[in-house]
Amino acid sequence: MMVRGAVRDVLPIKILGAFALAALLAGCAGMAHRGSDDGVNPRDNQTENQRAAQINTELGVGYMHEGHMDVAVEKIRRAIYFDDNFAPAHHAYALMLNQLGETEKAGVEFAKAYSLDPNNSDLDNNYATYLCGQKDYARAQKLFARAYGDPLYKTPEFALTNSGVCYEAEGNLSKAIDQYQAALNKTDGYGPAMLGLARAYYADGQFQKAATAMKNFEQTNRGSPESLQLAIRIDRATHDQQALANHVLILKGRFPDSAVTKWYESGAK
Q: Which of 210, 143, 206 is nearest to 3 (CA)?
A: 206
8 A C-beta contact, residue 63 and residue 95: no
Residue 43's pLDDT band, with cuts at 50, 70 and 90, is low
Q: How many helices (H) and strands (E) does the chain have?
A: 14, 0
What distance in Å separates the CA atoms of residue 190 and residue 195, rounded to the nearest whole number? Answer: 9
8 A C-beta contact, residue 147 and residue 139: no
Tens-digit pLDDT profile for residues 10-22: 333 344 444 444 4
8 A C-beta contact, residue 27 and residue 126: yes
Beta strands in 54-174 (DSSP E): none
Residues in contact with 265: Cβ distance below 8 Å, sequence separation at least 6, in sequence order: none
What distance in Å separates the CA atoms of residue 21 and residue 115, rounded to the nearest whole number? Answer: 23
Residues in contact with 189: Cβ distance below 8 Å, sequence separation at least 6, in sequence order: 216, 220
Q: What pTM, to 2 d.p., does this model score?
A: 0.82
DSSP state of 2: B
Tens-digit pLDDT profile for residues 166-216: 999 999 999 999 999 999 999 999 999 999 999 999 999 999 999 999 999
